[in-house]
Amino acid sequence: RYDLGRANHLTLKYSTARFLSTQQNLRIMSEDLVTLAYIGGGWASGQGGQFPVYDPATGEVITHVTDCTSHDVNVAIDAAERAFETWKLTTAKERAAVLLRIRDHLLKNKEHMATILTRENGKPRAEAMGEVGFAASFFEWFAEEGRRMYGETIPGIAASKRFITIRQPVGVAALISPWNFPIGMIGRKVAAALAAGCTCVLKPAEDTPLTALAFAKICEDAGVPCGVINVVSCSRTRVQEVGAALCDSPKVQALSFTGSTAVGQWLYSRCGPTIKKLSLELGGDAPFIVFPTANLDVAVKGAMASKFRNTGQTCVTANRIFIHESIRDEFVKRFAAAMDAELRIGSGLDPKVTQGPIINQKQHDRLTKLLKETITAGAQVVRGESPAPGGLYFTPTLLTGITPKMSIFKEEIFGPIAPIIKFSSEEEVIELANMSQRGLAGFFYSNNLGQIWRVAEAMEVGMVGVNETLFSTSEAPFGGVKHSGLGKEGSKHGLDDFTHTKLICFGI
């Protein structure tokens, strides 16, 4: 049965108090979760029943949520299309006010959102808290940037003509968000779409729908008009059906996706017949290079932050760590010591934990297989000998003896395995670093100014960190080259994929 209603019984009980214990937190969570899809300003049970959402730290079912079908998705698209006729006519100032209310509600409910995120994603709660703030920053940024969506005046070729351009929203946008940053990427996509004047249908990742549904409740509380934001959750068994519905609908004019390269390629192909604007942030294979002039302590700190944030499950994580042969042994020694001192495995709800679980069994099995293959191929284990404490936990592992022929050199690891590759020259490491079809981000450490310019320009990536690994912010463009995707998110360029430029010629 397709049931739309206001669902007052699902009102969230947001709490600003820090949780006192895991047990208390579990009780709060079981009472306060939103489990229905959000379509046309109402809460929908949909036509596909429900599917379970698991806590990767315990393997327990947290709750069951709406499993949307293609029919439900088309209802959401229709709702977004109707809302667009009004939303596109609002002024940039009016839209900015809505975005700032969303920001305020996110920050007001930061504790609650972070707890939901940790429960279904597994990341340490401190990281989850930071992610909620990160998401809120995009609503602030695009509230301001939407008011600077300027056109141009163009000198005419004849005295009787005048040319101007204006930017207009493309229409309904389909937004597909990933499980590794379940609220951060929602913020980056939704804020840009709404600021541009688009309405949207958001499909969260199958592993982390609860954060997205809680976000829908925040939007409702913030007074977002009905149909402007729609959230359709679905299970892994229906993900292709739902994805196809979003791609195939001629009413959807733009699609933004963050996820694997393989899925991005499928979406790219599927959207061809309807000629949508596409924003694709896909897989990464980030090289992390340390040259002899680098400050080793700074480089080790950067490698730790890049490799082990979110248990290595980020698209810009250090995937291949290249260390100059003259400093390799010392770097490995310091890196191993930092791992011993800083990394703690366990539930993300424990404030002492820095390494939560892997998101699901499929990913855990893939990592286990990759590690075994790498060791069999001749890699040496420097750290990671002791087994993880069971379940979906994975012991952070440091490997040396990695060669370009090994699978781990070619694959996106997406986990807490740090492979060390030694090199002897700048030319050699640039060739090795660019030996990938993916080009999202790259990092290197050097204090040689000429080398900094040469390497930054030579790396075939969309983003370069020089003596720095944390560069994702609402003000800066985020995106890659090659098989890492299309377009830029964040910054002033974040509006480009949700707008088109219209030329107006005046005859006088």
Element at 116 (helix H, strand E): helix 110-121
Q: Residue 272 is encoded by which pair of tokens?
A: 């061809």
- CB neighbours of residue 167 within 10 Å: 17
Helix (H, G, I), strand (E, B) or coil at 428: helix
Is residue 257 a contact partner of residue 178, using CB atoms and an 8 Å limit? Answer: no
Known active-site residue 281: yes
Is residue 132 a contact partner of residue 102, using CB atoms and an 8 Å limit? Answer: no
Contacts of 272 (CB under 8 A, 6+ apart): none
Alpha carbon 103 to chain centroid, angstroms: 18
Amino acid letter for position 28: I
Amino acid letter for position 502: K
Q: How many CA atoms lie within 13 A of 397 on its CB side?
A: 27
Using CA atoms of 67, 68, 69, 71 in order, give the dihedral in degrees to the nearest 10. 150
CA distance to 19, 116, 265, per residue, from 30 (Å): 14, 10, 38
Tell me the helix, strand and coil percentages in the chain, rounded to 5: 40, 20, 35
Known active-site residue 68: no
Strands 161-169 and 499-507, sheet pairing: antiparallel
**Of 315, 412, 426, 460, which is the active-site residue?**
315
d(CA 437, CA 460): 10
Is residue 38 a contact partner of residue 229, using CB atoms and an 8 Å limit? Answer: yes
d(CA 349, CA 123): 8
Q: How many CA atoms lie within 13 A of 241 on its CB side?
A: 17
d(CA 16, CA 288): 39
d(CA 227, CA 292): 56
Is residue 336 a contact partner of residue 436, using CB atoms and an 8 Å limit? Answer: no
**Of 281, 412, 426, 489, which is the active-site residue?**
281
Amino acid letter for position 407: S
Q: What is the DSSP string of 208-221?
A: -HHHHHHHHHHHHH
Residues with a catalytic annotation lie at: 281, 315
